[in-house]
Amino acid sequence: MTALTEAPRRTGAGAGILSRVRRLVSANPSALPTVAAVVILVGMVVYGEVAYGRIVQANTLSNLLINNTHLIVLAVALTFVIITGGIDLSVGSIVAFSSVAGVMLSNAGWHPIAVLIVMIGSGALFGLVSGILIRYFNVQPFIATLAMMFLGRGLASLLSTVPERLGEDSPLRWIGDQVKVVDGPKVNDLVITPAVVVAIVVVLVAFFILHRTRTGRTVYAIGGSESSAALMGLNVKNTKVLVYVISGTLAGLAAVLYTSRLGTAQNITGVGWELDAIAAAVIGGTVLTGAYGYVLGSVVGALVLGLMNVLITRDGKIPPEMTTIITGGILLIFVLLQRAVTRKKE
Protein backbone atom coordinates (compact mmCIF):
# COMPACT_ATOMS: atom_id res chain seq x y z
CA MET A 1 0.00 0.00 0.00
CA THR A 2 2.83 2.37 0.86
CA ALA A 3 4.55 1.66 -2.45
CA LEU A 4 1.32 2.41 -4.31
CA THR A 5 0.96 5.79 -2.61
CA GLU A 6 4.63 6.74 -3.06
CA ALA A 7 4.63 6.10 -6.82
CA PRO A 8 1.99 8.75 -7.60
CA ARG A 9 3.84 11.16 -5.34
CA ARG A 10 7.05 10.69 -7.29
CA THR A 11 5.14 11.01 -10.55
CA GLY A 12 3.48 14.16 -9.25
CA ALA A 13 6.83 15.61 -8.22
CA GLY A 14 8.27 14.93 -11.68
CA ALA A 15 5.20 16.43 -13.31
CA GLY A 16 5.55 19.46 -11.06
CA ILE A 17 9.15 20.02 -12.15
CA LEU A 18 8.17 19.69 -15.81
CA SER A 19 5.29 22.09 -15.25
CA ARG A 20 7.59 24.69 -13.66
CA VAL A 21 10.09 24.33 -16.52
CA ARG A 22 7.28 24.74 -19.04
CA ARG A 23 6.06 27.90 -17.31
CA LEU A 24 9.62 29.26 -17.20
CA VAL A 25 10.14 28.71 -20.91
CA SER A 26 6.70 30.14 -21.75
CA ALA A 27 7.33 33.27 -19.69
CA ASN A 28 10.91 33.65 -20.91
CA PRO A 29 11.54 31.87 -24.23
CA SER A 30 15.19 32.97 -24.19
CA ALA A 31 15.75 30.45 -21.38
CA LEU A 32 14.95 27.56 -23.75
CA PRO A 33 18.57 27.05 -24.97
CA THR A 34 19.77 26.98 -21.35
CA VAL A 35 17.13 24.40 -20.43
CA ALA A 36 18.15 22.39 -23.51
CA ALA A 37 21.80 22.53 -22.38
CA VAL A 38 20.85 21.16 -18.95
CA VAL A 39 18.87 18.37 -20.61
CA ILE A 40 21.83 17.51 -22.84
CA LEU A 41 24.21 17.46 -19.86
CA VAL A 42 21.91 15.15 -17.90
CA GLY A 43 21.45 12.97 -20.97
CA MET A 44 25.21 12.71 -21.46
CA VAL A 45 25.66 11.71 -17.82
CA VAL A 46 22.98 9.01 -18.10
CA TYR A 47 24.36 7.73 -21.41
CA GLY A 48 27.91 7.65 -20.08
CA GLU A 49 26.85 5.75 -16.96
CA VAL A 50 24.90 3.18 -18.99
CA ALA A 51 27.47 2.76 -21.77
CA TYR A 52 30.76 3.01 -19.89
CA GLY A 53 29.97 3.11 -16.18
CA ARG A 54 31.77 5.02 -13.42
CA ILE A 55 30.49 8.40 -14.59
CA VAL A 56 28.20 9.21 -11.68
CA GLN A 57 30.87 8.88 -9.05
CA ALA A 58 32.88 11.29 -6.96
CA ASN A 59 36.27 11.07 -8.65
CA THR A 60 34.87 11.45 -12.20
CA LEU A 61 32.78 14.48 -11.29
CA SER A 62 35.69 15.95 -9.32
CA ASN A 63 38.03 15.59 -12.30
CA LEU A 64 35.39 17.11 -14.58
CA LEU A 65 35.39 20.26 -12.48
CA ILE A 66 39.14 20.35 -11.87
CA ASN A 67 40.06 19.88 -15.53
CA ASN A 68 37.63 22.55 -16.76
CA THR A 69 38.07 25.37 -14.25
CA HIS A 70 39.87 27.51 -16.84
CA LEU A 71 37.14 26.90 -19.43
CA ILE A 72 34.41 27.84 -16.93
CA VAL A 73 36.17 31.13 -16.17
CA LEU A 74 36.67 31.88 -19.88
CA ALA A 75 33.01 31.04 -20.60
CA VAL A 76 31.96 33.55 -17.93
CA ALA A 77 34.25 36.14 -19.55
CA LEU A 78 32.71 35.60 -22.98
CA THR A 79 29.21 35.74 -21.50
CA PHE A 80 29.73 39.39 -20.51
CA VAL A 81 31.09 40.28 -23.92
CA ILE A 82 28.54 38.42 -26.04
CA ILE A 83 25.57 39.82 -24.09
CA THR A 84 26.65 43.30 -25.23
CA GLY A 85 26.66 42.05 -28.82
CA GLY A 86 30.46 41.92 -28.99
CA ILE A 87 33.08 39.19 -29.23
CA ASP A 88 36.52 38.59 -27.74
CA LEU A 89 38.96 36.52 -29.77
CA SER A 90 41.98 37.37 -27.62
CA VAL A 91 41.36 35.28 -24.49
CA GLY A 92 43.35 32.26 -25.68
CA SER A 93 46.38 34.38 -26.53
CA ILE A 94 46.08 36.23 -23.22
CA VAL A 95 46.25 32.87 -21.44
CA ALA A 96 49.41 32.01 -23.40
CA PHE A 97 51.17 35.29 -22.65
CA SER A 98 50.11 35.42 -19.00
CA SER A 99 51.09 31.81 -18.32
CA VAL A 100 54.52 32.06 -19.98
CA ALA A 101 55.27 35.38 -18.27
CA GLY A 102 54.06 34.06 -14.94
CA VAL A 103 56.17 30.90 -15.03
CA MET A 104 59.28 32.80 -16.10
CA LEU A 105 58.84 35.42 -13.37
CA SER A 106 58.17 32.77 -10.74
CA ASN A 107 61.29 30.85 -11.74
CA ALA A 108 63.23 34.12 -11.59
CA GLY A 109 62.41 34.40 -7.89
CA TRP A 110 59.56 36.91 -7.93
CA HIS A 111 57.15 36.90 -5.00
CA PRO A 112 54.06 34.79 -5.84
CA ILE A 113 51.70 37.71 -5.13
CA ALA A 114 53.63 39.86 -7.61
CA VAL A 115 53.48 37.05 -10.16
CA LEU A 116 49.70 36.75 -9.75
CA ILE A 117 49.31 40.52 -10.13
CA VAL A 118 51.34 40.47 -13.35
CA MET A 119 49.43 37.50 -14.80
CA ILE A 120 45.97 38.86 -14.03
CA GLY A 121 46.96 42.50 -14.62
CA SER A 122 48.39 41.76 -18.06
CA GLY A 123 45.07 40.22 -19.03
CA ALA A 124 43.24 43.30 -17.76
CA LEU A 125 45.60 45.50 -19.80
CA PHE A 126 44.86 43.56 -22.99
CA GLY A 127 41.15 43.94 -22.29
CA LEU A 128 41.55 47.66 -21.61
CA VAL A 129 43.29 48.20 -24.95
CA SER A 130 40.51 46.29 -26.74
CA GLY A 131 37.88 48.36 -24.94
CA ILE A 132 39.60 51.65 -25.80
CA LEU A 133 39.88 50.67 -29.46
CA ILE A 134 36.19 49.81 -29.53
CA ARG A 135 35.00 52.88 -27.61
CA TYR A 136 37.24 55.73 -28.77
CA PHE A 137 38.21 54.56 -32.26
CA ASN A 138 34.97 52.78 -33.22
CA VAL A 139 36.87 49.63 -34.16
CA GLN A 140 34.66 46.58 -34.52
CA PRO A 141 35.08 44.15 -31.57
CA PHE A 142 36.04 41.37 -33.99
CA ILE A 143 38.93 43.42 -35.42
CA ALA A 144 40.06 44.92 -32.11
CA THR A 145 40.23 41.59 -30.30
CA LEU A 146 41.72 39.87 -33.35
CA ALA A 147 44.57 42.38 -33.19
CA MET A 148 45.00 41.63 -29.48
CA MET A 149 44.98 37.92 -30.27
CA PHE A 150 47.94 38.28 -32.64
CA LEU A 151 49.70 40.66 -30.26
CA GLY A 152 49.31 38.32 -27.28
CA ARG A 153 50.46 35.27 -29.22
CA GLY A 154 53.40 37.17 -30.64
CA LEU A 155 54.51 38.44 -27.23
CA ALA A 156 54.23 34.92 -25.80
CA SER A 157 56.43 33.61 -28.61
CA LEU A 158 58.86 36.46 -28.04
CA LEU A 159 59.22 35.44 -24.39
CA SER A 160 59.77 31.76 -25.14
CA THR A 161 59.20 29.21 -27.86
CA VAL A 162 59.87 26.19 -25.66
CA PRO A 163 57.81 24.86 -22.75
CA GLU A 164 58.54 26.65 -19.48
CA ARG A 165 58.16 24.48 -16.39
CA LEU A 166 57.06 25.86 -13.05
CA GLY A 167 59.44 25.02 -10.22
CA GLU A 168 58.37 22.10 -8.05
CA ASP A 169 58.55 24.27 -4.95
CA SER A 170 56.68 27.21 -6.49
CA PRO A 171 53.83 28.48 -4.27
CA LEU A 172 51.71 28.85 -7.42
CA ARG A 173 51.35 25.07 -7.56
CA TRP A 174 49.30 25.26 -4.37
CA ILE A 175 46.37 26.64 -6.38
CA GLY A 176 46.23 23.37 -8.31
CA ASP A 177 46.81 21.03 -5.34
CA GLN A 178 44.00 18.55 -4.71
CA VAL A 179 42.26 18.57 -1.34
CA LYS A 180 40.30 15.46 -0.35
CA VAL A 181 36.80 16.37 0.81
CA VAL A 182 35.31 12.87 1.09
CA ASP A 183 37.41 9.72 1.44
CA GLY A 184 35.56 7.26 -0.76
CA PRO A 185 36.21 3.59 -1.44
CA LYS A 186 39.39 2.82 -3.37
CA VAL A 187 40.11 5.82 -5.63
CA ASN A 188 36.55 7.13 -5.61
CA ASP A 189 37.36 10.25 -3.57
CA LEU A 190 35.62 13.58 -3.75
CA VAL A 191 38.38 16.14 -4.21
CA ILE A 192 38.59 19.81 -5.06
CA THR A 193 41.37 22.30 -5.61
CA PRO A 194 41.68 25.98 -4.67
CA ALA A 195 41.26 26.62 -8.41
CA VAL A 196 37.77 25.08 -8.30
CA VAL A 197 36.87 27.32 -5.37
CA VAL A 198 38.15 30.35 -7.30
CA ALA A 199 36.05 29.37 -10.35
CA ILE A 200 32.93 29.01 -8.18
CA VAL A 201 33.55 32.45 -6.64
CA VAL A 202 33.97 33.92 -10.13
CA VAL A 203 30.64 32.42 -11.22
CA LEU A 204 28.82 33.72 -8.14
CA VAL A 205 30.28 37.22 -8.46
CA ALA A 206 29.51 37.34 -12.18
CA PHE A 207 25.95 36.18 -11.52
CA PHE A 208 25.51 38.92 -8.92
CA ILE A 209 26.93 41.62 -11.22
CA LEU A 210 24.79 40.65 -14.20
CA HIS A 211 21.52 40.11 -12.38
CA ARG A 212 21.65 42.32 -9.31
CA THR A 213 23.52 45.50 -10.25
CA ARG A 214 23.03 48.54 -12.46
CA THR A 215 26.15 47.54 -14.40
CA GLY A 216 24.57 44.20 -15.26
CA ARG A 217 21.36 45.85 -16.41
CA THR A 218 23.44 48.19 -18.57
CA VAL A 219 25.26 45.21 -20.12
CA TYR A 220 21.94 43.65 -21.13
CA ALA A 221 20.58 47.00 -22.34
CA ILE A 222 23.60 47.53 -24.60
CA GLY A 223 22.98 44.17 -26.23
CA GLY A 224 19.33 45.02 -26.79
CA SER A 225 19.92 48.45 -28.29
CA GLU A 226 22.96 50.59 -27.63
CA SER A 227 21.26 53.78 -28.72
CA SER A 228 18.22 53.11 -26.53
CA ALA A 229 20.49 52.36 -23.57
CA ALA A 230 22.23 55.72 -24.10
CA LEU A 231 18.87 57.53 -24.28
CA MET A 232 17.92 55.95 -20.95
CA GLY A 233 20.94 57.66 -19.40
CA LEU A 234 22.96 54.48 -18.93
CA ASN A 235 26.75 54.70 -19.00
CA VAL A 236 27.12 52.82 -22.28
CA LYS A 237 30.66 53.75 -23.31
CA ASN A 238 32.36 53.07 -20.00
CA THR A 239 30.42 49.83 -19.56
CA LYS A 240 31.62 48.60 -22.95
CA VAL A 241 35.21 49.23 -21.90
CA LEU A 242 34.56 47.56 -18.56
CA VAL A 243 33.18 44.44 -20.23
CA TYR A 244 36.42 43.88 -22.16
CA VAL A 245 38.50 44.63 -19.07
CA ILE A 246 36.49 41.96 -17.23
CA SER A 247 37.05 39.53 -20.11
CA GLY A 248 40.80 40.15 -20.18
CA THR A 249 41.07 39.95 -16.39
CA LEU A 250 39.27 36.61 -16.30
CA ALA A 251 41.50 35.34 -19.11
CA GLY A 252 44.54 36.22 -16.98
CA LEU A 253 42.93 34.43 -14.04
CA ALA A 254 42.25 31.40 -16.25
CA ALA A 255 45.98 31.37 -17.06
CA VAL A 256 46.74 31.21 -13.34
CA LEU A 257 44.34 28.31 -12.77
CA TYR A 258 45.56 26.35 -15.79
CA THR A 259 49.25 26.89 -15.15
CA SER A 260 48.99 25.96 -11.47
CA ARG A 261 47.39 22.65 -12.43
CA LEU A 262 49.74 21.60 -15.22
CA GLY A 263 52.89 23.33 -13.98
CA THR A 264 53.98 24.22 -17.52
CA ALA A 265 53.39 27.04 -19.99
CA GLN A 266 54.27 27.65 -23.63
CA ASN A 267 53.48 30.02 -26.44
CA ILE A 268 51.00 27.63 -28.06
CA THR A 269 48.90 27.31 -24.91
CA GLY A 270 45.29 28.36 -25.41
CA VAL A 271 45.10 27.92 -29.18
CA GLY A 272 41.39 27.73 -30.01
CA TRP A 273 40.28 28.32 -26.43
CA GLU A 274 38.42 31.46 -27.42
CA LEU A 275 36.26 29.31 -29.69
CA ASP A 276 35.69 26.77 -26.91
CA ALA A 277 34.63 29.58 -24.58
CA ILE A 278 32.28 31.03 -27.20
CA ALA A 279 30.84 27.55 -27.80
CA ALA A 280 30.32 27.01 -24.06
CA ALA A 281 28.53 30.35 -23.72
CA VAL A 282 26.33 29.73 -26.77
CA ILE A 283 25.48 26.17 -25.71
CA GLY A 284 24.55 27.60 -22.31
CA GLY A 285 22.03 29.97 -23.85
CA THR A 286 23.95 33.19 -24.53
CA VAL A 287 22.63 34.59 -27.79
CA LEU A 288 25.32 35.73 -30.23
CA THR A 289 23.31 38.78 -31.26
CA GLY A 290 23.37 40.02 -27.67
CA ALA A 291 20.84 40.97 -24.95
CA TYR A 292 20.28 37.39 -23.72
CA GLY A 293 22.55 35.18 -21.70
CA TYR A 294 23.06 33.46 -18.36
CA VAL A 295 26.25 32.92 -16.40
CA LEU A 296 25.03 29.62 -14.97
CA GLY A 297 24.08 28.50 -18.47
CA SER A 298 27.63 29.15 -19.66
CA VAL A 299 28.90 26.97 -16.80
CA VAL A 300 26.60 24.19 -18.01
CA GLY A 301 27.92 24.68 -21.55
CA ALA A 302 31.51 24.35 -20.33
CA LEU A 303 30.63 21.14 -18.47
CA VAL A 304 28.92 19.77 -21.60
CA LEU A 305 32.15 20.25 -23.58
CA GLY A 306 34.24 18.81 -20.75
CA LEU A 307 32.00 15.76 -20.33
CA MET A 308 32.03 15.20 -24.08
CA ASN A 309 35.83 14.84 -23.93
CA VAL A 310 35.47 12.40 -21.03
CA LEU A 311 33.01 10.22 -22.95
CA ILE A 312 35.16 10.22 -26.09
CA THR A 313 38.17 9.18 -24.02
CA ARG A 314 36.18 6.45 -22.27
CA ASP A 315 34.93 5.10 -25.59
CA GLY A 316 38.45 4.73 -26.99
CA LYS A 317 37.20 4.06 -30.52
CA ILE A 318 36.27 7.63 -31.43
CA PRO A 319 39.23 9.60 -32.84
CA PRO A 320 40.08 12.82 -30.97
CA GLU A 321 39.38 14.79 -34.14
CA MET A 322 35.70 13.99 -33.68
CA THR A 323 35.61 16.31 -30.68
CA THR A 324 35.74 19.35 -32.95
CA ILE A 325 33.11 17.92 -35.28
CA ILE A 326 30.74 17.07 -32.44
CA THR A 327 31.27 20.50 -30.87
CA GLY A 328 30.49 22.15 -34.20
CA GLY A 329 27.33 20.08 -34.58
CA ILE A 330 26.10 20.92 -31.08
CA LEU A 331 26.92 24.59 -31.62
CA LEU A 332 25.01 24.65 -34.91
CA ILE A 333 21.95 23.13 -33.24
CA PHE A 334 21.99 25.74 -30.49
CA VAL A 335 22.48 28.63 -32.91
CA LEU A 336 19.43 27.44 -34.86
CA LEU A 337 17.50 27.05 -31.61
CA GLN A 338 18.46 30.59 -30.61
CA ARG A 339 17.36 31.89 -33.96
CA ALA A 340 13.96 30.22 -33.55
CA VAL A 341 13.59 31.72 -30.07
CA THR A 342 14.51 35.26 -31.18
CA ARG A 343 12.09 35.05 -34.12
CA LYS A 344 9.33 33.99 -31.76
CA LYS A 345 10.05 36.94 -29.46
CA GLU A 346 10.03 39.28 -32.45
pLDDT digits (tens, 9 = 90+) for 281-313: 999 989 888 888 889 999 999 999 999 988 888
**Residue 346 — pLDDT band, cuts 50, 70, 90?**
low
The lowest-confidence range among 119-123, 258-262, 336-340 is: 336-340
Please say if the pLDDT value at position 8 is more than 60: no
- Sequence ranges of the domains in the chain: 56-270
- Is the pLDDT at 152 greater than 80? The verdict is yes
Q: If pLDDT is split at 50, 70 and 90, which confidence band does 260 have?
A: very high
What mean pLDDT value characterizes the chain?
A: 88
Range 104-124 average pLDDT: 96
% residues pLDDT > 90 (the chain) = 65
Beta pairing, strands 179-182 & 190-192: antiparallel
What pLDDT is attached to residue 249? 98
In this model, does residue 29 exceed pLDDT 60? Answer: no
- CA–CA separation, 327 and 172 (whole Å): 32
Measuring CA to CA, which residue among 134, 93, 112, 126 is closest to residue 246? Answer: 126
Q: Is the pLDDT of residue 87 over 50?
A: yes
Mean pLDDT of 172-194: 87
Residue 3 pLDDT class (50, 70, 90 cuts): very low
Contact (CB, 8 A) for 222 and 84:
yes
pLDDT value for 326: 83
> pTM for the whole thing?
0.90
Contacts of 225 (CB under 8 A, 6+ apart): none
Share of the chain above pLDDT 70, in %: 89
